[in-house]
Chain A
Amino acid sequence: MALDILKNPVLLIAVPLLLAFLAVFLKKIDKALLWIAAVANAASAVLLAVVYQGMTVVELGGFKPPFGISLVLDEYSLIGVVVLNVLFALILLLSGKLVKQYATVLLVALAALNGIILTGDLFNLFVFLEIAAIAAYIFTAMDKGFKHSFNYLVVGTLGSGLYLFGIILLYNIFGSLNMFDIRAQLQAIGGAGAETLTLPLVMIFTGLSVEAKLMPFGGWVKGVLHKANSLVGTMIVSGYALAVLLAVGRLMDTVFQMTDAVLIAFTAVAVGTLIFAEASAFSKKNLREILLFSSVAQAGLVVLLFLYGLTVPAVLVLVNNVVSKFVLFTVAGRLAHALETDDIGELKGVFVKVPLVGVGFTVAVMSLIGLPLFFGFVAKINALVGLFNAGNVWLPLIILVMAVVEGAYFVRILTTLWNTGEEGEVSSRDNLKAFNLDGMKGLGVVSVGIAIVIVALGILPVLNIKQFFSVDFMTFVQQLLGGM
C-alpha cells in the first residue's frame, strides 16, 4: 500500500534532515521549510501513534540486527516522539519571529532529537547526541552569549568524548553496539558481568550527565539559560531534556547492569542534583533562573526513577515536566522580552493584566508541583508508590521534602505575580503597574489549551482510579487506611 511508507519512523529523522540541507541552498524560504518539517513531523508522529501495533524494529540499509543500525519504535519511544514533535510545533508557533536565520539549525536539531529517542544503536546515539549538541551550541549563542555557549561546547564535547570511550569499552566486551543485543547477552550470563561493566557505565553516565543537566556536570546550564529567550529556553528545557533523558532511560533499561556500589554512586549524583537544584531555585529571585534550576532538579528526579527501574513513573514525571516547563519558560521568556526584566519583584501583579496567560502558567505550576487533579499528581504518586513498593523509604522521603521546597518557591512566584500590592495587602487594581504587554493573546490561548489537557489527564485517572493505578497501589492505600 502506498500509505505504508508514511508509517515508517525513519521519516521523523529523514524529512527534517533533508529539508535542512535544502534550507542551506534555499535561504529565502528556510522558514517555510522549517514549518513544513515541524507540521509533517507532528502529523507523522500522531499517525504512528494511531496505527501503532506493538514494537517494530526498523532495519536501516538492509542489515539485520545486531549488525547495522536499527530504529526501535515501542511504547517508550512512541510517547517520546509524539510529545517531542507536537511540542516542537508549539514552540515554533509561539516564538516564530525569534527563528531569524536559525531555521537550518532548528531543522537539524529536530532530526537529531528524534534520532536520539528512536535509535537502538549505541554509536548512532553518540552521533545524534553530537549533532543535537552542535545545533544547541549554535542557537544558544543567538543572543551574543558566546562565552556561555563556548563553555557549553567545551563541557559538552568532553561529555560526549567520555560517552564514546564508554561505548567503545562496551563494544570491546560484547562485540556489539546494539542495545538490545547487549541486553540479551547480559541476561544470558545472568548478571555475572556487573563488575566488568563498572568503568564503561561510569563513563557513559558521566558523559550523558552533561546533556541531561545532572550536577555537577550540567553547570553550563545557568550561563546558557539565565538570559535565554523563549525559543532557546523551551528548546533546551523541553525538547532537549525530553530526548536526552529518554535516551538515558533507554540505556538504563538495556545496558546498565550495575553493582550495588555503582548504583549507590549514581543515586548520590541524582539525589545530590535534586537537593542542590531545588535549594538553588529556592534562593533565586529571577523567574528564568528559578525555572532552569527547577528543570535541573526534575532531571535528577527522573534519572533517580530510571535508576530504580521505575520506567513508567519516570516517563510520566518527565512528560509532565517538559510540558509544564514549555508553558512556564515561554511565559517567562515573553515577559522578560516585553518588560526587559524577569525579577519577580518587578513583575508584581502582571497576570492581572494578562489573565489567560496567568491561568495557563498557574495550572502548569500546580502540575509541576504535583497537586491532585493535575497530571503531575498522577506522575508523582506513581513514582512514590513504585519506590515504596521496592522497599525504599528514604528516597520517597527526600522527594516529598523537595516537593515541599518546590511548592514553597512556586507559591511565592504565583502570589507575587497575581497580587498587585505588597504581601499581606488586599490586592487592588489601583496598585497595578502600567505593564506594556501586547501580542500575548496567542500565548494565552495555547497555554490555556495545554492547561486543559493537563487537567483532563489529571482528572480522568481519578474517575476510574481502579483501572489506572496498579493493584499494588490499591493494597497500599488500604494498608495506609488501616484495612478499611
Chain B
Amino acid sequence: MIQYVSIALMLVGIYGLLTQKNVIKLIVSLNIFEVGINVFIISVGYVSGGIAPILTSQNNTSALLYVDPLPQALVLTSIVIGVGVTALALAFARRMHKQYGTYNLDEMEGE
C-alpha cells in the first residue's frame, strides 16, 4: 500500500516538473519527487511486526524479527543529498531573480 503512495508522490513530482514555469514551484516538485523515492526506499526494508534493528539489553539476540536497517541508512544519505541540492537550487533561483527580476522561466529574457 505504502509503495503505491510513494509512486503516486513521484508521479506528482514529475507532473509538477513538466507543467510548472515558476522556479520555486519546480524546486518544490523536485522535493516531492525525492520524498516519493525516499518513502519507497523505506518501504522496501519494512518487515511486518519487525522491531528497530538495535541490539539492547532486552533485544540482545539476532533471533528476533528486525526490520532491514540498510534502506534506513540509504535513505538518510539520500535525504542529505536532497537537502544539498535544494539549497543549491534555491541559491540559483535567487541569482536568477537578481538577473532577470522574475521567477517565471518564460519571462526570463535572453537565450
Contacts and interface: CB of A to CB of B under 8 A. Distances in A.
B92 A149 contact: yes
Contact of B96 (A146, A164, A165, A223): A146
Contacts of B74: 123, 168
B33 A150 contact: no
A137 B27 CA distance: 15
A138 B88 contact: yes
B89 A153 contact: yes
A385 B107 CA distance: 52
Given A154-B17, A157-B30, A168 B71 contact: yes
B78 to A, nearest CB: 6
B95 A146 contact: yes
Of B81, B100, B111, most buried by chain A (CB within 10 Å of CB) is: B81
A172 B44 contact: yes
A344 B14 CA distance: 40
A134 B105 contact: no
Nearest to A172: B44
Interface in A210-238: 223
B41 A144 contact: no
A59 interface: no
A388 interface: no
Contacts of B33: 158, 161
B85 A150 contact: no
Given A154-B26, A154-B30, A146 B92 contact: yes
A168 B85 contact: no
Contacts of A158: 14, 17, 30, 33
Contacts of A35: none
B6 to A, nearest CB: 10
B16 to A, nearest CB: 11
Given A146-B99, A164-B78, A130 B85 contact: yes
B92 A153 contact: yes
A147 interface: yes
Contacts of B44: 168, 171-172
A157 B85 contact: yes
Interface of B: 10, 14, 17, 23, 26, 30, 33-34, 37, 40-41, 44, 70-71, 74, 77-78, 81, 84-85, 88-89, 92-93, 95-96, 99-100, 105, 108, 110-111
13 contacts: A130-B85, A137-B92, A141-B92, A144-B95, A146-B92, A150-B23, A157-B85, A158-B30, A158-B33, A161-B34, A165-B40, A172-B44, A223-B111
Q: What 3 A-B pairs come out closest when comparing CB atoms?
A: A150-B92, A146-B95, A146-B96
